[in-house]
Structure formats: structure tokens, C-alpha cells
Amino acid sequence: MARDLSYKAVMSRRKEIMEKALGMDYSEFIRSPLAFDYEGMMEKVGYSLERVRAIQSEVGVGNTPLLELRNITELVRRTSRPGMGARILVKDEAANPSGSFKDRRASVSVYHAKVHGYRGVLAATSGNYGAAVASQAAIRGLDCIIVQETFDSRHVGQPEIVEKSRKCEAFGAEVVQLTVGPELFYVALMLLEETGFFNASLYSPFGIAGIETLGYEIAQQCRERYGKDPAYVVVTHAGGGNVTGTARGLRKAGALKTKVIGASVDLTGLHMASDTDFNRKSFTTGHTGFGVPFATWPDRTDVPRNAARPLRYMDRYVLVTQGEVFYVTQALAEVEGLERGPAGNTSLAAAIALARELPQDELVVVQETEYTGAGKHPQAQLNFAKQNGVIVRRGDPRENVPGKVIVIPEEFSQLHVTEFPMEKLRKSYLKNAVERTGVKEVTPEDVKFLAEDSRQTEDEVASYLEQLGVKVLGKA
């Protein structure tokens, strides 16, 4: 009998498809509509940190250089109060095989697929992760399919996404290109069911375990060279895996006082699934269109429970403008001689402003760089923005209007960050948890899980749930 491939039918089979494509039964971790055993799920990966490092070493992933940005640090100190301006370091993840930290994420998933007899791997992504999965699949001798949201309804794609498609194909992957809309998850599920491939999801425990080595290396390298842990590690925040894996690695290294700060490009007002907005956003990842929704409800993914839980680990969340990231991309090339892509430069733009908060003997680590290519260059991105009616000019970056005006700073001193209130994210998360599950009452176990998942006290969680009209059982 032929499979029913209608949207409704495929989506109704998604739990079965996802679990078969990961070889993991998520039901053993679920405790209630709200709560699940997060650490138990992470341990189910079955690979220790040491084993993950060995897997990555086999394929040239990890042990990337930690570079001191001496010239940028000097510019920070010139624009700071006397005695202020922490040393800025950058983890050069562009040294990985496909040119980004995503190789760490892909390495464990592809290795696991190989040893468990899967013929190929599939990933749904418009970003660097596709290239990473394709690269690792090529090394391990597996077939690879990358499903990308590439075009608007005119079949026009952003230069950066088109560049990433090219790179995936260069590694031998089959790239399925889609227009913006809800079909990405549907097509990925349909192909997983048809091929029997492993789901190399961004959000599986395998992917997060692969990033832990990055945080661990940062702590090790800072101690070896400077005799101390970094005060801040600044992480470009999108879907939450980068923050989660890096923070877990820092904790495993014992860097418990290091603050993990998420940074995103402020694209407030643009809808990521909007055909009109799709080509007006300039940045395909590392922006608020992913950063806020995934922080406030992580389980909007292609796995039953997302292993990327950024609110568990993020100490602060800061925003930078499009123009500031373009400015810093050029500054990094001209001042430090490093030409790198836009995602890592999002956290670098934030790190420059954050370093001014700290004394000169402290360390601020920018947790990643990424490769660059023709479609990722500021020139290509800015020209494309102009073609789509966006005004590009020099001035005060605070005058940036997402999708309408990109303002390139005139001076280094204009680089700044805007704080996104963590309390707002936490309350939004709790509200989403209630609305999406439809719960009317919660148990003490539910409250404990929600408190851990959002880094609040159980009393804070219980109080806010009661404000939402939810009955808290077992409360005196």
C-alpha cells in the first residue's frame, strides 16, 4: 500500500519517523506533558567528553587555535575608561574541515550513524551545519541529503544561503532547495521516512555533545596561556545549541564562574517565515528571529525533545545591529588580518562593547569564527539589501531599522549592545509551556523541571504559573 504523503498524514507520523531516524525512544525520558529527564537524555548519547574528543580528532575537528586580537583590544582600550578594556580572544573555528564550529556538532551524529549501520544522513538547515554534515559524511563514506529553505516566492535566494548550498554540493551532498514556508520540516520527515537515513538534527543530544568540546577547550587554553578562566564567553545565539554545548563544556572543565553571554543580531519586527521579509533580513542565522523563539520554546524542532536548552545556561542576552556586524567584519579583516564570515562576527561585535565593562586583566572570549565566501562578504550582502529596497548608510547604529535601514557605524566607539531582559525570556518560556501543552495543573516535579529549564527558583515558577491560572499541586 502506498504511503499517504499528504502534509497531515506525514505530520501525524512524525514521532515514529523521528525516533526511527535517531534510533532513540524519547518516551523513556518524558515524565509529563511538561517535564522530562534532560540529563538522562544527554547521557543516553553514550559518548563521554573524552570519547567525543577522540572521534573528532580522527576527522580533524577541534583543537582549533585561540587567537588574541591585540589590535582590536587596543582599540577597545582607547575607547574605554582608564584601566578598562578586557583582552579579547577568538576561538578560530574556521580551522575545522568545513570552516565552522558546526563540524563539532556534525561529527558525533555522523559517526553514530556510521557505526549503527545507517546508509546516509539528512539534515534540515539553511546554515553552515549543512556543509558540516556533508563534510563529515564524505569523510565517513555516507550519503548525505541537505534540505534547505533557500528562496522566496520569486525563487530569489540570499547570497549567503546560495553560497552554503554550493559548499554542501562541493562535499557531494544532494541539496533539496525549498521556498520559505512550513514545508521544510514536512519535506525532511518525508525524506527520512523514504530513505531510512539518520536524522543528523541540530537539536539531538549527539549534536550538543559534539559542541561540549569547544567550551572545554576554551577553558583549557585560557588556563594554559593566561593562568585563568575567561570572565565572559560570548556566543552567537540562534537555535540555542551553540550556547548549550559551549556552556556544558565550560562546566565540565570547571569554569563555573565564567559568564555565558548570548549575542544576536536585532531583527525585531521581521517574521522569519514571511515571504516578504525573507530577503530583507541580511543575516540567515544568529538573529532574534531564531534566538528569541528558541529560547522561549525550545521544542519547536525536528526531534521530540530538544537538547538545546539555552535558558538553562545563558547568563545574559545582548543584541547588536546589522550595521555593527558588517563594520566589525571589515575591521577584523583590516586591523587583524582575519577575513571571517558573519556569524562569529555577531558575537565579536558584542564582545567589543562588553570588554569595556571589565578591567584590562580580564579575558573575553569570542567562541567562534566561520569561513567566508563570495556570498558571505559584506559587499554581497549589502548589495543584495539595496536590491531589496533596504537603505544602507553611515551614521549612528542606533538608527538601524531591521528590513528598512542598515546603518554602518562611523566610529569604533559607537559599537554597543542592547540588553534583552532575561526575565522577559523566562516568563515567555513559562507562558509558552502552559499554552502549548494545555495544562491546567502542575505537579512539584513539573515545577522543578521548569525551574531548572529556565534558571529560576521553584517559588518564582510557581508564582508565575498561578498568575497564568495554573493550579500548583502540593503547595501549602
Q: Is the pLDDT of residue 242 over 90?
A: yes
Coil, helix or strand at residue 2: coil
The set of cell numbers assigned to 472 is 500548583
Lowest-pLDDT range of 284-288, 326-330, 454-458 = 284-288
Report percent pLDDT > 90 for the chain: 86
What is the reported pLDDT for 275? 87
Q: From edge to edge, which strands make up the β-sheet containing 232-236?
A: 66-68, 87-91, 363-366, 232-236, 259-265, 316-320, 418-419
pLDDT tens for 145-194 read: 999 999 989 999 889 999 999 999 999 999 999 998 778 889 999 999 99
Nearest Cα residue to 318 out of 341, 338, 346: 346
Contact 203, 308 (CB under 8 A): yes
What is the reported pLDDT for 271? 86
Q: What is the mean pLDDT of residues 41-69?
A: 96
Q: Is the pLDDT of residue 1 over 80?
A: no
What is the reported pLDDT for 370? 95
CA–CA distance, 201 with 205 (Å, rounded to integer):
9
pLDDT tens for 46-59 read: 999 999 999 999 99
What is the reported pLDDT for 222? 98
Report percent pLDDT > 70 for the chain: 100
What is the reported pLDDT for 297? 96
Coil, helix or strand at residue 369: coil
Lowest-pLDDT range of 182-196, 234-248, 452-466 = 182-196
pLDDT tens for 124-152 read: 988 899 999 999 999 999 999 999 999 98
pLDDT tens for 339-378 read: 998 889 999 999 999 999 999 999 999 999 999 988 899 9
- Cα 244 from chain centroid (whole Å): 9
Nearest Cα residue to 285 out of 218, 354, 349, 341: 341
CA–CA distance, 174 with 165 (Å, rounded to integer):
9
